[in-house]
Amino acid sequence: MRFNRKIAILGATGAVGQRFIELLQNHPWFEIEVLAASERSAGKKYKNACNWIMNSNLPNEIAEMSVVNVDLESVRKAGNVDIVFSALPGGLAGPIESELATEYPVFSKTSAHRMDSDVPLIIPEVNPEHAELIPIQKQARGWKGFISTDPNCSTIQLAMTLKPLMKFGLNKVIVTTMQALSGAGYPGVSSLDIIDNVIPFISYEEEKMETESQKILGIFKENRISAANFIISASCNRVNVKEGHLESVFVQLDYDPNVNEVEEAFRRFRGEPQKLQLPSAPETPIVVRDEPNRPQPRFDRNEAKGMSVVVGRVRKDPIMTMKYMCLGHNTIRGAAGGGILSAELMVTKGTA
Ligand code: NAP
Tens digit of each residue's pLDDT (9 = 90 or more) over 226-257 = 999 999 999 999 999 999 999 999 999 999 99
Range of the domain at 28: 5-152+335-348
pLDDT level of residue 335 (50, 70, 90 thresholds): very high
Q: Indicate if ligand 1 lies below 6 Å from the C-beta of 37.
A: yes
Q: How confident is the model at residue 78 (pLDDT cuts 50, 70, 90)?
A: very high
Q: Is 68 in the pocket of ligand 1 (CB under 6 A)?
A: no
In the predicted model, is pLDDT for residue 1 greater than 80?
Answer: no
Residue 84 shares a structural domain with residue 101: yes
d(CA 108, ligand 1 centre) in Å: 11
- Please say whether the beta carbons of 309 and 290 come within 8 A: no
Residues 158 and 142 in one domain: no
pLDDT value of residue 2: 79
10 shares its domain with 138: yes
Q: Within this chain, do residues 160 and 14 fall inside the same structural domain, yes or no?
A: no
Please tell me whether residues 132 and 166 are part of one structural domain. no
Q: How many domains does the chain have?
A: 2
Residue 324 has pLDDT above 90, yes or no: yes
Kindly state whether residues 95 and 242 are assigned to the same domain: no
pLDDT over threshold 80, residue 73: yes
Average per-residue pLDDT in the chain? 98
* pLDDT at res. 217: 98
Domain co-membership, 91 together with 174? no
In this structure, the answer to whether residues 68 and 87 fall within a common structural domain is yes
Share of the chain above pLDDT 90, in %: 99
* Ligand 1 centroid, distance to 220 Cα (angstroms): 30
Instruction: Calculate mean pLDDT across residues 72-81.
Output: 98
Position 84 scores a pLDDT of: 98
CA-proximal residue: ligand 1, atom 14 (nearest):
38
Give yes or no for a contact between 256 and 169, defined as CB atoms under 8 angstroms apart: no
pLDDT at position 271 is 98
Residue 301: CATH number of its domain? 3.30.360.10
The CATH number assigned to the domain holding 50 equals 3.40.50.720
- Binding site membership of 153 for ligand 1 (Cβ less than 6 Å): yes
Helix (H) or strand (E) holding 72: helix 72-78
pLDDT of residue 154: 98
CA distance 310 to 295: 6
Beta strands in 123-230 (DSSP E): 146-149, 170-179, 219-221, 224-226
Q: Do 160 and 225 have their domain in common?
A: yes
Over residues 28-61, the pLDDT tens digits come to: 999 999 999 999 999 999 999 999 999 999 999 9
Side-by-side strand order, sheet with 146-149: 67-68, 30-36, 5-10, 83-86, 105-108, 146-149
Nearest CA to ligand 1 atom 37: 183
Q: Does pLDDT of 197 surpass 80?
A: yes
Closest ligand 1 atom to Cα of 70:
20
Are 99 and 184 in the same domain?
no
Q: Could you give the C-alpha distances from 150 to 159, 175, 216, 259, in angstroms and in order?
A: 12, 20, 10, 30
Q: Long-range contacts for 319-322 (Cβ within 8 Å, ≥24 apart)?
A: 319/250, 320/172, 320/174, 320/250, 320/251, 320/252, 321/168, 321/251, 321/252, 321/253, 321/256, 321/257, 322/165, 322/250, 322/251, 322/253, 322/257, 322/259, 322/262
Mean pLDDT of 307-323: 98
CB of residue 13 inside a 6 A radius of ligand 1 = yes
Same structural domain, 176 and 316: yes
Instruction: Give the Å distance between the CA of 92 and the centre of ligand 1.
Output: 10
Are residue 344 and residue 310 in the same domain, yes or no? no
Is 6 a residue whose pLDDT tops 90? yes
The span from the CA of 350 to the CA of 2, in Å, is 12
Put simply, whether the predicted model's pTM sits higher than 0.85 gets the answer yes
| Residues 123/129, Cβ–Cβ less than 8 Å | no
